[in-house]
Amino acid sequence: MDQALTIALRVHNPWLDQPDRQAGLLAADLSSPFLPRARRLDVRAGGAELVVGPRQAGKTTWIRQGLSERSEPVLILHAEEPRIRELCRSPAEALHALSDVLSEDTLLVLEEVQHLPDAPLFIKGLVDLQPRRKIVATGSSSFQFQSKTRESMAGRARRTLLLPFSLQELSTLVDRKRAAPILEEELRGLWSRLLVLGSYPRPWFDPDPVSELHRLTEAFVLKDASDLHTIDRPDAFRKLLELAAADAGNLVNLSAWASHAGVSRDTVVRYLEIAADAHVLRLVPPFVGGKRAEITGTPKVYLIDNGLRNTLFGGFERIDRRADAGSLWENAVFAELLKRTGLLDRIYFWRTKNGAEVDFVVRRDQKLLALEVKAGLLPRPQLTRAARSFIQAYRPSCFGVLNASLNTDDTLEGVPIRYRRPWEIGDLLTVP
């Protein structure tokens, strides 16, 4: 093993010379304070675990916490290291070069694989050569990685999406033993803060979260977009993100965005694909069931995180002083849905040509769940005409109304209607 490779390995694997200290050294790298995530790292032989998500969402911390609880030896290859990228050009050569530090039961971790020249083929080669090897790979940006993964890694990889903290995870910061009114007020405070500052780990715990959010935004726009993707016009790309943030929760208008950004419509489409695959935003398609005169093609746009949205557009004024509170509620609820749904679930919105609309429709386990978002206080249970129309047309398994005040149940024509506060959103995703 050459000296450059030895140095790179020891920097990221300080336990190589002290195997008995592996768990402690892994745990020592965890961020402080450490907030446990709702899901656990599931590593099995017979394929790679691909952990993808936006920059600084906590992927490394989450993985290292999971690894610190395991007994097998761990070897981390960090793809930002030039010598590691060179090594990872050939699976066979890599396994041979690492034979001194890679036993049969060593768990192999590949970090930031988007920096590798052909990550999917490399991981596929590792799995094919050593099918019983346990492998974890992480990537913060997946524009090229994902498309190649679908083609070359079918049956060889499982994918986990790790996003910024969910409200469920943040609620563990609250003492559940407190009296109900105090507990509710603290949960309401968490939600109000999330609406403005989002839930990226570092800004959430930093004394100056706004500065951290600006640094995070610039890191994506200037580093990821310019260095990892073919962005000919970084200024137009940033302008497009600002337009998407301003229109969060609204229908996408590609022509208007192209005009404002000074690029072609095709360029807007390509830049949106990059932003979506880099986990900055999502385009949500309309639900089309064929029972009403429905919008069939135009998607809505949502940002993955409210803090990112407010950095790009809107600022950080308190939620009770904002004219865009409704948009922030809707965007934050979308992010919560995304964090709580699985890879096989689908999120839509429903809108008819005459303007009737239901904010979200989730297809889960072949059943429909629908959800309306009401940012204000509801004095009593009430459904919009659009909600009643959707229920009568599609009879979802559950219709939820997420609001600031009510927790109660009702029915309409046999369909359960659940009124819940934001921290109770899990109740709305439970299929009866």
Average pLDDT value for residue range 39-47: 86
The pLDDT assigned to 272 comes to: 94
Ranking 35-39, 138-142, 239-243 by mean pLDDT, the lowest is: 138-142
117-171 per-position pLDDT tens digit: 888 889 999 999 999 999 999 987 654 444 444 556 666 788 899 999 999 999 9
Torsion of CA 168, 172, 173, 179, to 10 degrees: 100
The pLDDT assigned to 293 comes to: 73
How far apart CA 332 and CA 304 sit, in angstroms, is 8
The pLDDT assigned to 144 comes to: 45
Residue-averaged pLDDT of the chain: 91
Q: Where in the chain is the domain with CATH 3.40.50?
A: 3-161
314-365 per-position pLDDT tens digit: 999 999 999 999 999 999 999 999 999 887 789 999 999 888 999 999 999 8
Query: Is the per-residue pLDDT at 231 higher than 90?
Result: no
Return the higher-pLDDT residue of 232 and 392.
392
The pLDDT assigned to 44 comes to: 87
* Residue 429 CB contacts under 8 Å (≥ 6 apart), including other chains: 337, 340, 341, 362, 364, 369
Single out the residue of 296, 246, 244 nearest to residue 273, CA to CA: 244
**Beta strands 157-161 and 47-52: pairing type?**
parallel
- What is 3-161's CATH number, 1.10.150, 3.30.300, 3.40.50, 2.70.98? 3.40.50
**Per-residue confidence at 8, pLDDT binned at 50, 70, 90?**
very high
Single out the residue of 200, 59, 78 nearest to residue 140, CA to CA: 59
**Per-residue confidence at 34, pLDDT binned at 50, 70, 90?**
confident
Query: Which residue reads 């109770």 in tokens?
Result: 424
The pLDDT assigned to 97 comes to: 95
* Residue 44 CB contacts under 8 Å (≥ 6 apart), including other chains: 134
* Residue 189 CB contacts under 8 Å (≥ 6 apart), including other chains: none
The pLDDT assigned to 145 comes to: 47
Return the percentage of the chain with pLDDT > 90, whole number.
74
Query: Is the per-residue pLDDT at 113 higher than 60?
Result: yes
How far apart CA 213 and CA 371 sit, in angstroms, is 29
Return the percentage of the chain with pLDDT > 70, whole number.
94
Query: Is the per-residue pLDDT at 21 higher than 60?
Result: yes
How far apart CA 283 and CA 275 sit, in angstroms, is 10
The pLDDT assigned to 292 comes to: 67
How far apart CA 119 and CA 408 sit, in angstroms, is 49
Ranking 80-89, 127-136, 141-150, 367-376 by mean pLDDT, the lowest is: 141-150
* Residue 329 CB contacts under 8 Å (≥ 6 apart), including other chains: 195, 373, 375, 402
How far apart CA 170 and CA 306 sit, in angstroms, is 15
381-398 per-position pLDDT tens digit: 999 999 999 999 999 999
The pLDDT assigned to 154 comes to: 63
Query: Which residue reads 């009401």 in tokens?
Result: 374
Single out the residue of 390, 178, 404 nearest to residue 294, CA to CA: 390
Rg (CA), the chain: 23
Single out the residue of 409, 328, 415, 330 nearest to residue 369, CA to CA: 415
Adjacent-strand bridge partners of 399: 370, 417
Single out the residue of 156, 150, 151 nearest to residue 129, CA to CA: 156
**Per-residue confidence at 208, pLDDT binned at 50, 70, 90?**
very high
Query: Is the per-residue pLDDT at 224 higher than 70?
Result: no
Tokens standing for residue 287: 């639900």
Question: What DSSP state is assigned to residue 166?
Answer: P
* Residue 182 CB contacts under 8 Å (≥ 6 apart), including other chains: none
What's the Cα-to-Cα distance from 192 to each of 111, 187, 404, rounded to whole Å? 34, 9, 11
* Residue 30 CB contacts under 8 Å (≥ 6 apart), including other chains: 61, 64, 65, 68
What's the Cα-to-Cα distance from 272 to each of 255, 269, 278, rounded to whole Å? 13, 5, 10
Backbone angles phi, psi at 105, to 5 degrees: -100, 10
Chain centroid, CA 430 distance in Å = 20
Residue 398 near residue 419, CB atoms below 8 Å: no
**Per-residue confidence at 407, pLDDT binned at 50, 70, 90?**
very high
Question: What's the pTM?
Answer: 0.93
